[in-house]
Amino acid sequence: MNSSIIKSILLHLGLGGFLWATANIHDPAPKVMEVTLNSAIPEPDNAVSAVTVDQKQVEQKIAELQKKEAAKKRAEDKRIRDLERRAANARKQREAEARNIKKLEQQRKAKEKEKAQAEAEAKKAREIEQKERAKAKQAEKQKQEAENAAKAAADKRKAEEEALKKAEAERKKREAEAKERAKEAERKRQQALQEQMLQEQLAKEQAARNKIRQQQVVSEVDKYRALIMARIQQNLLIDEKMKNQQCRVNIRLGFNGLVTQVKSLGGDKLVCEAALRAVRMADTLPVSKDKDVFEKLKNINLTIKPEF
C-alpha cells in the first residue's frame, strides 16, 4: 500500500469523525472543518463529492486487497496440497522400496542358502580329493624313502671305503711328516745347541769386554773425581778451625763441566760454606768427553776435607 492510499484512508477517517461529531453535537455557531490533502484545501461545497470518490477508491483498494489475499490463500492451499501429494508419493515410494528391499533380502537369503549348499558339497568333494591326494602322497613318500634308504646305504658303503683309503693315506702321510719333523727337530736342536754355545761364547767375551770397559770407566771416573777434588781444594779457603772437619756436597755438572747446581748435604758449617764458595769460584770442573764416564760425573757427591 503506497503513501497516497494511506493518506486517502486517513482523510476519510477524519471526515467520518467530523460528520459524526456535527450530527451529535449542536454548538451555537458551528464551523466547517478544513482538511488539507496534498497541500490543497477543497471547497466546502465539494467535500461530500470528494468523500464519495475517496470511498469508492477505498472500497476498490479493499477489493483488490481481498482479491490478492484470496489469491495468496489459493496459492498457499495449492502449495500445501502439493506438499501433501509429494509426501504421499514419497510414502508410497518408501513402501515400494521397502517391499523391494524385502524381496531382495529374500532373494539374497535364498542365494546364500544355495551358496552354502554348494560350498558344503564343494568342501566335501575337496576333502575326498585331499584324502586321495594324501594317500597318493604317502605312497610316493614311502617309495621315495625306500629309494633314499637304498641310496644312503650305497653312499655309506662308498663313503666308508673312501674313508678307509683316506685314513690309510693320512696315516702314511703322518708317519712321513713325523719322520721329517723328527729330522728337522734334530737339525734345529743341533743348530740351537751351536747357537747357544756361540751366544755363551759371545756373552763371555762381551762380559769380559764390559768388565774391562767398566774398569776403564771406574778408573776414568776416579781420575776425574780426583781432578775435581783438586780444583775445589785449590779454591778452598781454609782456617785452623776447619782442622779435622769435613762437609759433604752434591754437585751437578753440564756436559762441558759447567756447575749447574751445588748444595750442602751436611757437615761442618765453616767447611760447607768454604766448599760451596770454592765450587762456585771454579765455575767449571774437569769432565770426560766419554759419555759413560760423564754419566757418572754429572751428578756426584763429594766429601771435602781441608788439607793443612
Ranges of each domain in the chain = 3-89, 209-304
Find out whether 257 and 286 touch, Cβ atoms under 8 Å: yes
Within 13 Å and on the Cβ side, how many CA atoms surround 278? 24
**Among 225, 266, 268, 226, CA closest to 244:** 268
Beta bridge partners of 40: 37
pLDDT band at 258 (very low <50, low <70, confident <90, very high): very high
pTM of the model: 0.35
Half-sphere exposure of 211 (CA within 13 A, CB side): 6
The predicted pLDDT at position 161 comes to 87
Q: What is the tens place of the pLDDT at every residue in 224-235?
A: 999 999 999 999
Whole-angstrom Cα distance, residue 241 to residue 270? Answer: 8
Neighbour tally for 212: CB within 10 Å = 10
Q: In this predicted structure, what is the pLDDT of residue 267?
A: 95
Mean pLDDT over residues 75-98, rounded?
85
CATH-assigned architecture of domain 209-304: 2-Layer Sandwich (3.30)
What does the alpha-carbon distance between residue 258 and residue 52 come to, in Å, rounded to a whole number? 156
- For the chain, the residue count is 308
* Cross-strand partners of 303: 248
Task: Provide the pLDDT for residue 260.
Answer: 94
Cell of 109: 537369503
For residues 198 and 205, give the distance between their C-alpha atoms in angstroms, rounded to a whole number. Answer: 10
Residue 41 CB contacts under 8 Å (≥ 6 apart), including other chains: 34, 35
Q: In the predicted model, what is the mean pLDDT of residues 74-88?
A: 86
- Residue 120, SS3 per DSSP: helix
The predicted structure's pLDDT at residue 131: 86
Contact (Cβ atoms closer than 8 angstroms) between residue 261 and residue 252: yes
